[in-house]
Structure 1
Amino acid sequence: MSLKSAPVKWGILGAARIAEGAILPGMTASAWCTPYALGARNVTRARAMADKFGIPNAYGSYDEVLADPEVEAVYIALPNHLHVEWARKAADAGKHVLIEKPAAMDAAALEALEGVDPALKISEAFMVRQQPRWIKLREILDEGTYGRPMTFSSLLSFTMTNQEDFRQKPEWGGGAHYDLGCYTAMAARYVFDAEPLRVFAIMDKNANGIDMFTSVILDFGAGRQATFMVSLATASSQSIQIVCEKAFITLPQAYVPSRVDPNQILIDTSQDHANSDITPIAFPALDQYEAEVTNFSKVIRGEPAPYFDLTDACANAAVTDAIFASAASGTWADVKGA
């Protein structure tokens, strides 16, 4: 850490599973972060979680976190339908904001974040983009050694068994796409470093009205296509496969890397289906949530680190809009602004 930089004092809005299981362990492990305040609707729950992580301040409301003058940055760990409302309130309180994905349920909602202080850092929390492996992948694709990426495919799924989970509620942003498809759509945009022009999507919804299976084609033009499937009702899967003009690139355990074993990029340059010529690139095991909060804190302190602003969040939300529009119409849907 730079000698001129002190750890960023963080406030967390919500005593959610993502806060307890991922964000707070990452913050406590990072030299760049101090988890300073936690707010929940139930102060007893807030105090219990704060004590678990040595957080000095526990509040019985989110507003109290925002009113604390020592809090510099806020993590929005709330259900999806509350993200924009509290991100705006945090920004109005002068806090930098890291918003749990998806930043919004549709692109129009993000208009509420227009006009915030440009000095504030506000980002959608896709922790996967902070993996050294993903950063290296971007470098490999930019170098052009293997030609252009032409196809992207991804699987991301698990079985959701908790019927009380907020992801069971469509009005709260439940369903496979909001929970998982936002990752795969972002990953396709990241790989192509471009925005899709149009989308075709099929959704299978349950009795609650949430999509349990969603399959998507993203057309990036010039022969470039991405396909992905996400599900909340199948076995666990997570993969990314990229076919370039001169190589086949695979990211095993693409979205949830091992915290124990090395993580890899596999580059196969064989032109023969009967053979492989694989070059593995290994990366140390890591906590990608620690990388995420560390890098966001570095950006706040003016240090170089990967950063994606609200423009990126708006672009991903525009893809979400097109996916739902296509699934509703049964036809291709254009991506607005692409």
Structure 2
Amino acid sequence: MTLEPVRWGILGAARIAEGAVLPGMTRSPACAPVALAARDETRARAMADKFGIPNAYGSYEALLADPEVEAVYVALPNHLHVEWVANAAAAGKHVLVEKPIALTRADLAALEGLDPSLKVAEAFMVRHQPRWQALRAKIASGEHGAPRTVSSLLSFMMTNADDFRTRPEWGGGAIYDLGCYTAMAARFVFGREPERAFATCARDARGIDMFSSVILDFGAGCHAIFSVSLAEASSQSLQVVCERAFIELPKAYVPSRTEPNLIHVDLSADHAKSDLATLSFDALDQYEAEVTNFARAVRGEDAPFYGLDDARANMACVDAIFASAASGGWAKVDPARPTSAMPPARAGSSGT
């Protein structure tokens, strides 16, 4: 790779930054992390030193004022995402922001009118896997007929009582943390937006959904069905039923970094038989792939990129899911117009 590395600043000394994104950036020849900011400058300095980052700041504003920083990765709690995307873009920085980009589709009104020369994207790293790109190409080819059903499970057992995901005012709960992935996966496979959503959410005493099940209706008899949970054993599955094939991605959302990653394609038309082919992809760090592709897009290269329009569409799905869970009926998905549904009430700002 010959492009000049994009110089990154990281807002927030979060676990996702330390454990996933910064290791990916340091491995990517397209990226150079040069600054990190946290509300606690000591914490910022410690994490910066761990990754050889020269500049550490005790405020997010100071990092955005750094002329060396070209792109910003926003690793803050969910309720702060829109605010700091807007601030970073106002400072002339490209922005990659942790998912979900917002708590409602309406929140994204604050990001209207951004400089169109800036790259702004929601950080769904999974769709930067070569395996996911191959899945999309296989479906688009039509070789197995049209996709008709997408199903997915995504869960883990949350044991930290102080986790930000336990706080409704910060965007806690399974839909915000996991359901945004499974909704995005369905949209990725079908290549279009759902028409309506039906959902049920089991909430705990704090008001966050610990278990949610969802149907997204894509019209013409095409459905996505998924369940997400913060209170179950680890699961991560993605299956696509086409007219002439059953396609499965084992370890779909968190692929192995040491073993090949697979796509199983069963062409059998008989339940009692199997006609199985397996496609194998090299082990990879999907966070490295994500930041590399973002950097390539910043430099004007042809790379997978999903901008604000995609983020708006995914948030419209989340809005409809919450609206359905509240009403007990179907809710329309309208990417162009925010719904009136609101998740649990939000409180004041705080950050990492």
Which TM class, normalised by the smaller chain length? Answer: over 0.9
Partner SS for 1:188: helix
Query: Aligned partners of 1:241, 1:187: CA distance in 2, in Å?
Result: 10
Counterparts of 1:22-171 in structure 2, within 5 Å, are 22-171=20-169
Give the C-alpha shift of residue 275 in structure 1. 1.0
Partner SS for 2:305: coil
Q: Residue type of the partner of 2:199?
A: A
1:77-135, Cα deviation, whole Å (9 max, x unpaired) = 00000000000000000000001000111100011001010000000000000000000
TM-score (norm 1): 0.99
Partner SS for 1:221: coil
Q: Which residue of 2 aligns with 1:259?
A: 257
Query: Aligned partners of 1:279, 1:212: CA distance in 2, in Å?
Result: 36
Give the C-alpha shift of residue 328 in structure 1. 0.4
Q: Which residue of 1 aligns with 2:318?
A: 320
Counterparts of 1:7-26 in structure 2, within 5 Å, are 7-26=5-24
Partner SS for 1:272: coil
Q: Which residue of 2 aligns with 1:229?
A: 227
1:255-311, Cα deviation, whole Å (9 max, x unpaired) = 000001100011000011111111100000000000000000000011111000100
Query: Aligned partners of 1:16, 1:296: CA distance in 2, in Å?
Result: 20
Q: Which residue of 1 aligns with 2:178?
A: 180
Aligned mate of 1:298, from 280, 296, 299: 296
Aligned partners of 2:257 and 2:284 also within 8 Å: yes
Partner SS for 2:92: coil
Query: Aligned partners of 2:272, 2:209: CA distance in 1, in Å?
Result: 39
Partner SS for 1:230: strand
1:174-210, Cα deviation, whole Å (9 max, x unpaired) = 0000000000000000000011101000000001110
Aligned partners of 2:216 and 2:223 also within 8 Å: yes
Aligned partners of 2:312 and 2:335 also within 8 Å: no
Partner SS for 2:218: strand
Please report the RMSD computed on the Cα atoms of aligned residues, expressed in angstroms: 0.6
Query: Aligned partners of 2:33, 2:314: CA distance in 1, in Å?
Result: 29
1:145-180, Cα deviation, whole Å (9 max, x unpaired) = 000000000000000000101100001000000000
1:25-44, Cα deviation, whole Å (9 max, x unpaired) = 00000000001000000000
Q: Which residue of 1 aligns with 2:341?
A: none
Q: Residue type of the partner of 1:158?
A: F
Q: Which residue of 1 aligns with 2:339?
A: none
Aligned mate of 1:336, from 323, 326, 334: 334
Aligned partners of 2:12 and 2:74 also within 8 Å: yes
Identify unmatched segments of 5+ residues in structure 1. Answer: none
Query: Aligned partners of 1:337, 1:90: CA distance in 2, in Å?
Result: 24
Query: Aligned partners of 1:116, 1:69: CA distance in 2, in Å?
Result: 19
Counterparts of 1:240-259 in structure 2, within 5 Å, are 240-259=238-257
Query: Aligned partners of 1:37, 1:114: CA distance in 2, in Å?
Result: 27
- Which piece of structure 1 moves more, 328-337 or 89-98? 328-337
Give the C-alpha shift of residue 337 in structure 1. 3.7
Query: Aligned partners of 1:82, 1:154: CA distance in 2, in Å?
Result: 28
Give the C-alpha shift of residue 12 in structure 1. 0.2
Query: Aligned partners of 1:337, 1:126: CA distance in 2, in Å?
Result: 18
Query: Aligned partners of 2:126, 2:296: CA distance in 1, in Å?
Result: 17
Aligned partners of 2:180 and 2:318 also within 8 Å: yes
Q: Matched residue pairs, number?
A: 336
Q: Which residue of 2 aligns with 1:208?
A: 206
1:2-31, Cα deviation, whole Å (9 max, x unpaired) = 3xx210000000000000000100000000
1:221-278, Cα deviation, whole Å (9 max, x unpaired) = 0000000000000000000011000000000000000001100011000011111111
Q: Residue type of the partner of 1:101?
A: K
Flag as ranges the 4+ runs of structure 1 deviating above 3 A: none
Q: Residue type of the partner of 1:86?
A: W
Q: Residue type of the partner of 1:25?
A: P
Query: Aligned partners of 1:80, 1:175: CA distance in 2, in Å?
Result: 11
